[in-house]
């Protein structure tokens, strides 16, 4: 589509939007109607203005950031062009597609010149944010010779994300919040079996764990909690938990029971010639088990006594065995802590390497963010450090080699009380008596 036609269409939309904003919004707002929340406000005012700004600044932006090249005809190859390196005397910017609107911004597609790579576009993303006055620009290259730019006009993570009880799409998939493009934040334990959640105090770790419990509670999944801070957080979910340890001694017993369960499931699969419980018939499949640990450091800190050191070492060994063996057997780990580094104790680094899903909330220092996201992407570490104290619940999520910003849902005390009234699955442990019983706030009876 010709650039002039694009400008005319966008200008017409913008004029209609401005007139609508000037004449209708005051009248509607006087009646208490939240006009700026309406979708048409973005489509008629926000989108045309942003798209016009992108189209009008693209040529100069490409020139200043080294995206333009000079072209001259090649007499030896008819119909071909050559890229001439050096200063662009007659700069030709890359071809920009029509800005396609989305719920939170727009999408652009750029056709690279022959010889160009996506690297300069990654480096120019911050310049694009300032030139186009948008919240963020994410650059990807899913196909050779093309660059996709996801433009987020407004931060979709502002404000609390209300709790929801919508049914999960699949077993062990939990809708825990919203990601930066406005879509649901899904934690799929079938795809990424173990998760690490880090962040400073009051950064939103416990809110994320509560959102996870809220999403998994209606599913046929056994939830086991370890909260050595007096069960102040996980204890709110009461009877829905199959087991809860409130100190390290109980945690050792509970983790030992989990490892015994893993061995029992392994024996069943081996006897039936299966490699995982998901290959078993549904009526013979053991109940999936999710172990949630709130504040990992409490399991590793010692008072210097021999007994305390032995308990800490046992916890480290049992957690590592659960992470190494549990994925195929329906046993999953979600571990939260302020810092998860080698300074806690032995085997922590090996445990962290087994946790493929990473969530980093606000951190006080670079080292804490580096421990969580450093092996994923250095840009993710910088983004995590830029989370402010006013953005409680906002985090950087890394999985499968990619990362994004997200915000967990707000779980109220009433939501927790409703979860506490639910019953856990019957007989989730093959190694336990029928029915499975745990002492209140403790380990298996």
Residues facing 408 on adjacent strands: 177
Q: Are residues 147 and 165 in the same domain?
A: no
Domain of 129, in residue numbers: 3-69+82-152
Q: Are residues 354 and 291 in the same domain?
A: yes
Indicate whether 437 pLDDT > 60.
no
Q: Are residues 114 and 211 in the same domain?
A: no
Are 81 and 74 contacting, i.e. CB atoms less than 8 angstroms apart? yes
Report the alpha-carbon distance of residue 75 to residue 186 in Å, rounded: 55
pLDDT of residue 227: 92
- CA 378, chain centre distance (Å): 16
Q: Are residues 118 and 208 in the same domain?
A: no
The pLDDT confidence band at residue 345, using thresholds 50, 70 and 90, is confident
Domain-located, residue 306: yes
Indicate whether 1 pLDDT > 90.
no
Are 70 and 89 contacting, i.e. CB atoms less than 8 angstroms apart? yes
Angle at 392 between CA 386 and CA 397, to 5 degrees: 60
Residue 284, C-beta contacts closer than 8 angstroms, at least 6 positions apart: none
Give how many domains the chain has, as a whole number: 2
Residue 292 token pair: 């949630």
**pLDDT per residue as tens digits for the range 31-71:** 554 544 445 567 677 788 888 889 889 999 998 998 888 76
Q: Is the pTM of this model over 0.85?
A: no
Q: Are residues 146 and 188 in the same domain?
A: no
Domain-located, residue 439: no
Indicate whether 88 pLDDT > 90.
no
Task: Indicate which CATH number applies to the domain containing 390.
Answer: 3.40.50.300
Comparing 153 with 395, which gets the higher pLDDT?
A: 395
Domain-located, residue 363: yes
pLDDT of residue 308: 87
Backbone angles phi, psi at 444, to 5 degrees: -60, 140
Residue reference for tokens 């056994």: 222
DSSP codes joined into one string, 150-189: EEESS-TT-S-EE---PPPSSTTEEEEEEETTSSEEEEET
| Range in 53-67, 76-90, 114-128, 243-257 the model is least confident about | 76-90
Q: Are residues 171 and 129 in the same domain?
A: no
Task: Name the 3-class secondary structure at 398.
Answer: strand
The pLDDT confidence band at residue 239, using thresholds 50, 70 and 90, is confident
Comparing 99 with 83, which gets the higher pLDDT?
A: 99
Domain-located, residue 444: no
Among 152, 174, 195, residue at a domain's last position = 152
Output the average pLDDT for the chain.
Answer: 82
Residue 270, C-beta contacts closer than 8 angstroms, at least 6 positions apart: none
Comparing 217 with 156, which gets the higher pLDDT?
A: 217
Q: Are residues 248 and 133 in the same domain?
A: no
pLDDT of residue 83: 54
Domain-located, residue 276: yes
Domain-located, residue 425: no
Q: Are residues 112 and 239 in the same domain?
A: no
Domain-located, residue 204: yes
Q: Are residues 148 and 165 in the same domain?
A: no
Q: Are residues 126 and 189 in the same domain?
A: no
Are 17 and 48 contacting, i.e. CB atoms less than 8 angstroms apart? yes
Domain-located, residue 427: no
Among 124, 152, 180, residue at a domain's last position = 152
Indicate whether 382 pLDDT > 60.
yes
Among 152, 169, 199, residue at a domain's last position = 152
**pLDDT per residue as tens digits for the range 144-187:** 889 999 898 877 777 655 555 555 568 999 999 988 877 889 99
Q: Are residues 204 and 100 in the same domain?
A: no
Indicate whether 86 pLDDT > 70.
no
Q: Are residues 289 and 364 in the same domain?
A: yes
């Amino acid at each position: 589509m010709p650039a002039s036609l694009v400008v005319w269409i966008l200008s017409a939309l913008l004029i209609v939007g401005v007139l609508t904003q000037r004449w209708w919004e005051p009248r509607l707002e006087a009646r208490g109607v939240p006009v700026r929340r309406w979708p048409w406000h973005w489509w008629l005012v926000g989108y045309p203005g942003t798209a016009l700004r992108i189209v009008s600044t693209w040529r100069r932006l490409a020139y200043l950031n080294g995206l333009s090249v000079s072209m001259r005809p090649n007499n030896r190859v008819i119909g071909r062009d050559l890229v001439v390196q050096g200063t662009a005397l007659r700069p030709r910017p890359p071809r920009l597609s029509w800005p396609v609107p989305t719920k939170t911004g727009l999408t652009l597609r750029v056709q690279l010149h022959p010889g160009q790579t996506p690297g300069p576009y990654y480096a120019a993303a911050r310049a694009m944010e300032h030139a186009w006055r948008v919240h963020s620009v994410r650059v990807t290259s899913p196909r050779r010779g093309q660059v996709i730019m996801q433009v987020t006009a407004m931060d979709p993570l502002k404000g609390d994300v209300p709790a929801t009880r919508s049914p999960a799409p699949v077993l062990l998939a939990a809708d825990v919040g919203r990601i930066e493009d406005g879509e649901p934040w899904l934690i799929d334990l079938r795809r990424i079996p173990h998760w690490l959640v880090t962040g400073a105090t009051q950064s939103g770790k416990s809110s994320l764990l509560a959102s996870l419990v809220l999403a998994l509670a209606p599913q046929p999944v056994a939830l086991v909690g370890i909260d050595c801070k007096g069960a102040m957080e996980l204890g709110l979910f009461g009877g829905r938990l199959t087991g809860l340890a409130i100190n390290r001694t109980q945690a050792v017993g509970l983790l030992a029971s989990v490892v015994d369960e893993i061995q029992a499931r392994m024996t069943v699969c081996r006897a039936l010639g299966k490699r995982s419980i998901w290959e078993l018939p549904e009526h013979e499949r053991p109940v999936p088990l999710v172990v949630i640990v709130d504040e990992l450091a409490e399991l590793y800190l010692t008072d210097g006594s021999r007994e305390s050191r032995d308990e800490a070492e046992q916890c480290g060994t049992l957690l590592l065995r659960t992470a190494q063996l549990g994925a195929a057997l329906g046993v999953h780990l979600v571990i939260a802590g302020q810092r998860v580094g080698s300074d806690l104790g032995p085997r922590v680094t090996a445990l962290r390497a087994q946790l493929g899903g990473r969530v980093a909330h606000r951190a006080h220092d670079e080292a804490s963010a580096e421990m969580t996201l450093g092996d994923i992407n250095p840009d993710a570490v910088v983004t995590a450090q830029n989370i402010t104290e006013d953005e409680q619940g906002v985090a950087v999520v890394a999985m499968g080699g990619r990362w994004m910003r997200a915000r967990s849902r707000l779980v109220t005390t009433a939501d927790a009380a409703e979860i506490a009234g639910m019953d856990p699955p019957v007989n989730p442990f093959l190694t336990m008596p029928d029915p499975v019983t745990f002492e209140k706030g403790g380990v298996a009876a």
